[in-house]
Amino acid sequence: MYPFKILEERREDFKRVYHVNRVSFGGDLEARLVDALRARQSTISLVAEVDRQIVGHVFFSPVRIDGPARAIRAMGLAPLAVLPEFRKKGIGTALVEEGVERCRLAGNSLVFVVGDPAFYRRLGFTMAAPLDLHYDEPVYDDFLMVKELLAGALRDVHGCVRYAPEFLGL
């Protein structure tokens, strides 16, 4: 395991974060998404550094729940990127755990992710569809997961989970 640090993203990191997302996803869609989302309020963006090199990145932005749900503050995790040569070393897990904690400290009650259930279950996420929480495109319901940051936060919350409009281009 590499010694790494999890830090808040700084303006001078933007180009290196773009590179990490582009390499991690094999294209620049996610990298451009992060650039577009940075202008939103209440975002959380963290980087992982090894020897002053940015090797990972995670981004959280506000989501809303449309439906007969009570008002609740929630964030969406996307994207999570780790350079291929640094994967399977705990960096992605550390980025998610630190980001989720920062979401909690910022007053959010839930975090959603559309991702690999095997990975995110290990981090305390559960499938959202059985809780009557759905992504706007049903094909993604097999990958939409949620994590409570406050006990009971999911009580009486159901409907359609909507990420920022910038996600529609993916």
Please state which CATH number belongs to domain 5-169: 3.40.630.30
d(CA 8, CA 44) in angstroms, rounded, equals 8
1-12 pLDDT tens trace: 568 999 999 999
d(CA 93, CA 38) in angstroms, rounded, equals 22
pTM of the model: 0.94
119-161 pLDDT tens trace: 999 999 999 999 999 998 888 899 999 999 999 999 989 999 9
